Structure formats: structure tokens, C-alpha cells
A and B are shown apart, each in its own frame.
Chain A
Amino acid sequence: DSGVTQTPKHLITATGQRVTLRCSPRSGDLSVYWYQQSLDQGLQFLIQYYNGEERAKGNILERFSAQQFPDLHSELNLSSLELGDSALYFCASSVGTEATNEKLFFGSGTQLSVL
């Protein structure tokens, strides 16, 4: 158990809908990362938050948004969903130091299926 909690584990929805994925980082971790894993794109970095502030942005679509709350949990909002958004969405957390050896701890992911 990595200590990172993601809910829900599975989500099935229709095109055009909006969903929210939730992540609780490990206790003490200030950084939260969101990744998307799909068969054709592999593991893609979406966005990172550190202590409530957006710190880095990757290949995140404008239809997607995220935030990190004062209690450090994070939510990833996906709107106007398309079939191609079907993927496994991971949240990861880390302490948030500047060290290159700081590893990320991953949650078990949310499997999103858009029908």
C-alpha cells in the first residue's frame, strides 16, 4: 500500500459528461501529480500541485482542470468527455523537496471508461 488513495477505482460515463477524480496524498506529502495512462499515449504527465499551488503543467487538455485543497487532497475534473479520454488516471504524491532522488508514490488509479 503506497499510502496514496484514489477514488473511485472505476468510473463509467457517457460522452459529453463531466467527472471528478479524487486523490488523497500520503501523510506529510505536499506535492501531488496527475498522470494519464492509455494504450496509445503511454504514461503522460498532466499536472502537479505543491502545497495548494499549481507548480507544473504537462499535456493537460483545456477540458481538464485540477486543484489541490488546503487539506492537500486533490481533484482532477474532466469535462465534455470524449471516447479518447478513456484511460487509467493516476495520482502520485511526494514530499516536495527539490531533491532529484525524491520518488513518487502512486495511487492505484481510477479507470475511466467513456461510452
Chain B
Amino acid sequence: AQKITQTQPGMFVQEKEAVTLDCTYDTSDPSYGLFWYKQPSSGEMIFLIYQGSYDQQNATEGRYSLNFQKARKSANLVISASQLGDSAMYFCAMRVRSYNTDKLIFGTGTRLQVFP
């Protein structure tokens, strides 16, 4: 079954430090996409970064990078130089496609708190 697992309910990090949010996934499809979204307290879902299953290099978007280890089926999000505004819920997601479905499935999320 296709599944996303985020084992860290909450994480704390000091401002300006780096933090890694864990994500593992399960799929038998050879082609898939992995996404990270941020949900601040205001509620909206903000796209952060994408990694394709065939991408040779780890994705990077500014202070966000994705540590993609295909053999381990992990897609951890690394936030460098944390800022107070990074405090939010972070969701890992996977694109699932078949003849009768096309959706993103989400993990349970990790709440990140950045302290001064």
C-alpha cells in the first residue's frame, strides 16, 4: 500500500541552526513524486519543494533541501539557518497515480518550533 510516514510529531530547533524533518514512503510504482508542504498557524498549505523518483540530484529551494535516499525510501527535508517564521506544521506528501486515482497522500506532519 502507498503510504507516507512522518515519525516526528514535534521538533525544536534554535534560530539559525539547521533541522532535518524525517519522511519515509512506501510505493511499488517506479515513477512517483515527493513533496513537502508547510502549514503555518494561519492554516494555508504552502508548497516548499519537490523530488522526482528519477531525479539524480537532491532538490534544493533556497534554504530548503531534500535528502533523497531512494534505496531507503526516505525523503527528509532539511531546513538550513532556521528562522522564527519557519515555525509551522510540515507535511511530506507523495503523488499517487493509477487508472482510477490521482492524488497527493500526506503524512501526519511534524510540528516545528523555532526558538530564539
Contact = CB atoms under 8 A, between A and B. Distances in A.
User: Is this pair of chains taken from one and the same complex?
Assistant: yes
Interface in B70-116: 91, 95, 97, 100-109
Contacts of A111: 43
Contact of A88 (B43, B105, B108): B43
The residue among A45, A101, A102, A107 with the most chain B CB atoms within 10 A of its own CB is A101
Range for the number of chain A residues in contact with chain B: 20 to 34
Contact of A100 (B31, B107, B108): B31
Which DSSP category, helix, strand, loop or mixed, fits chain B's interface? strand
The residue among A2, A43, A88, A105 with the most chain B CB atoms within 10 A of its own CB is A43
Nearest to A96: B102
Contacts of B33: 100-102
The residue among B52, B100, B104 with the most chain A CB atoms within 10 A of its own CB is B104
The residue among A2, A42, A100 with the most chain B CB atoms within 10 A of its own CB is A100
B68 interface: no
Interface of B: 31-33, 35, 37, 42-47, 50, 52-53, 91, 95, 97, 100-109
Given A45-B105, A105-B47, A108-B43, 11 more contacts: A43-B91, A50-B102, A56-B101, A90-B45, A92-B45, A100-B33, A101-B33, A103-B47, A106-B37, A106-B46, A107-B44
13 contacts: A33-B103, A42-B106, A43-B91, A43-B106, A45-B103, A45-B105, A57-B100, A92-B45, A100-B52, A100-B53, A102-B33, A102-B95, A108-B44
Interface of A: 2, 31, 33, 42-43, 45, 48, 50, 55-58, 88, 90, 92, 98, 100-109, 111
